[in-house]
């Protein structure tokens, strides 16, 4: 059965351009009413006007879709609360939150201003936290919700010059890991998108011949998959240039080194400790503790 978002309502932050615009258009095309949030600033997050959001609203309404602009700044909890209130008063509910807004302030950590570190964390991490905090009561009341955060290869794997951005993006996958546990009983699913696409954010970093293949609209099907009723929860889904993959944090077997472990014992057992053939994903922190205890009990019984 094809995905149909008729009757559903989504908020997409930072949807005035780039990936957010494509996600919003794809949702609207399948019948979703969409709130287009965007501050309209430059790639560093400076300046701003609501016209970027309004242009995307026009693109949707011209095709007969339902959309509304919201010029709120994701770094303001009050703005995010106002955005959710206006969404519910205009469209009656809020089913899907796509946390997409983002900026860059790249520099090596040695040269980076602490203000630029904090601003990037504020927009990516706190922006997603504020929008999610504002949307959560509505989703809990409905006993239905789909929350998507946008992480990045910088967050999962690192990227030169992006310590601020990578830290904020990794924090989002940590935020998702707990949110998936806390919201499960309310019918809410929380997932993370790991995109790669040609936008103003990447045009100076990625070579031109690659940019031609990295059309942002090729990422949006992953967002619709995570926004649908059938969505999984707690997944990190990478999407780019028409490819899709699953990114997972895994842990190797817990190797018990006795009651008096030494650093030399870790060195001498490193092949065994780091043996990726034993690696498995874990669903929660308590699963990790259980795994540790199980290894200790098993070793002591031998
Ligand atoms: P973009 O710069 O084209 O879009 C970001 C949008 O967020 C802009 O329209 C901007 O006005 C808006 N925005 C920025 N600060 C805001 C704020 N405080 N409040 C409200 N709106 C704000 O960049 P792109 O590439 O579309 O990025 C979208 C998301 O995808 C970001 O979270 C980015 O970090 C992430 N991402 C993008 C990748 C790519 O390859 N393009 C790779 C990995 C992650």
99 CA distance to ligand 1 middle (Å): 9
95 CA distance to ligand 1 middle (Å): 21
Question: Distances in Å between the alpha carbon of 297 and those of 31, 256, 259?
Answer: 55, 9, 12
Nearest atom in ligand 1 to the alpha carbon of residue 153 is 43
Radius of gyration of the chain (CA): 21
Predicted pLDDT of residue 126: 98
Residue of 72, 33, 40 lying closest to 55 (CA atoms): 40
Q: Which of 48, 55, 102, 245 to mutate to test the pocket of ligand 1 (most atoms within 8 A of CB)?
A: 102
Predicted pLDDT of residue 49: 75
Q: Is 165 labeled as catalytic in the residue annotation?
A: yes
231 CA distance to ligand 1 middle (Å): 23
Predicted pLDDT of residue 47: 82
Q: Which residue's CA is minimally distant from atom 31 of ligand 1? A: 102
Which H helix or E strand runs over 92?
none
Q: Strand pairing partners for 245?
A: 238
Predicted pLDDT of residue 257: 98
Q: Is the ipTM of this complex over 0.85?
A: yes
Residue 281 C-alpha from the chain's centroid = 19
Predicted pLDDT of residue 84: 98
Cα(87)–Cα(14) distance, rounded to whole angstroms?
15
DSSP-assigned states of every residue in 72-83:
--TT-HHHHHHH
Ligand 1 binding pocket, CB closer than 6 Å: 13-14, 16-20, 37-41, 43, 45, 52, 73-75, 100-103, 123, 127, 150, 152, 195-197, 199-202
Predicted pLDDT of residue 44: 82
Kindly report the number of other CB atoms within 10 A of residue 228's CB atom: 16
Q: Which of the following is catalytic: 130, 157, 165, 256?
A: 165
Domain ranges of the chain: 9-247, 250-301
Predicted pLDDT of residue 298: 96
Neighbour order of strands in the sheet with 145-150: 67-70, 33-37, 9-12, 96-99, 145-150, 188-195, 236-240, 243-247
Nearest atom in ligand 1 to the alpha carbon of residue 198 is 41
CATH placement of domain 9-247: 3.40.50.720
Contact yes or no for 108/161 (Cβ under 8 A): yes
282 CA distance to ligand 1 middle (Å): 30
144 CA distance to ligand 1 middle (Å): 26
Contact yes or no for 3/30 (Cβ under 8 A): yes
State the pTM of this model: 0.97
Q: Which residues of the chain are under the pLDDT cut of 50?
A: none
Q: Which residue's CA is minimally distant from atom 41 of ligand 1? A: 197
For the chain, strand residue ranges (E) read 9-12, 33-37, 67-70, 96-99, 145-150, 188-195, 236-240, 243-247, 250-251, 280-281
């Amino acid at each position: 059965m094809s995905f149909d978002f008729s009757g559903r309502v989504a908020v997409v932050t930072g949807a005035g351009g780039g990936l957010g615009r494509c996600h919003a258009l794809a949702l609207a095309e399948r019948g979703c009413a969409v709130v287009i949030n965007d501050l309209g600033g430059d790639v560093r997050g400076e300046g701003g006007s609501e016209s970027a959001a309004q242009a995307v609203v026009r693109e949707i309404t011209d095709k007969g879709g339902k959309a509304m602009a919201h010029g709120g700044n994701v770094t303001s909890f009050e703005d995010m609360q106002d955005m959710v209130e206006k969404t519910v008063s205009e469209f009656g509910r809020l089913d899907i939150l796509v946390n997409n807004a983002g900026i860059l302030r790249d520099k090596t950590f040695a040269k980076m201003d602490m203000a630029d570190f904090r601003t990037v964390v504020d927009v990516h991490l706190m922006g997603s936290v504020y929008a999610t905090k504002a949307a959560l009561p509505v989703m809990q009341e409905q006993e239905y919700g789909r929350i998507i955060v946008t992480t990045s290869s910088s967050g999962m794997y690192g990227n030169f010059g992006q310590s601020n951005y990578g830290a904020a993006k990794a924090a989002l996958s940590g935020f998702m890991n707990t949110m998936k546990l806390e919201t499960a009983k309310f019918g809410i699913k929380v997932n993370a998108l790991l995109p790669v696409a040609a936008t103003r954010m990447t045009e100076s970093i990625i070579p031109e011949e690659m940019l031609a293949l990295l059309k942002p609209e090729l990422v949006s099907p992953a967002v619709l998959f995570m926004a649908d009723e059938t969505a999984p929860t707690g997944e990190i889904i990478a999407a780019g240039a028409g490819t899709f993959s699953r990114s997972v944090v895994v842990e190797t077997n817990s190797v018990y080194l006795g009651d008096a472990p030494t650093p030399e014992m870790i060195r001498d057992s490193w092949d065994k400790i780091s043996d990726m053939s034993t690696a498995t994903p874990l669903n929660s922190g308590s699963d990790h503790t259980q795994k540790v205890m199980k290894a200790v009990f098993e070793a002591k019984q031998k």
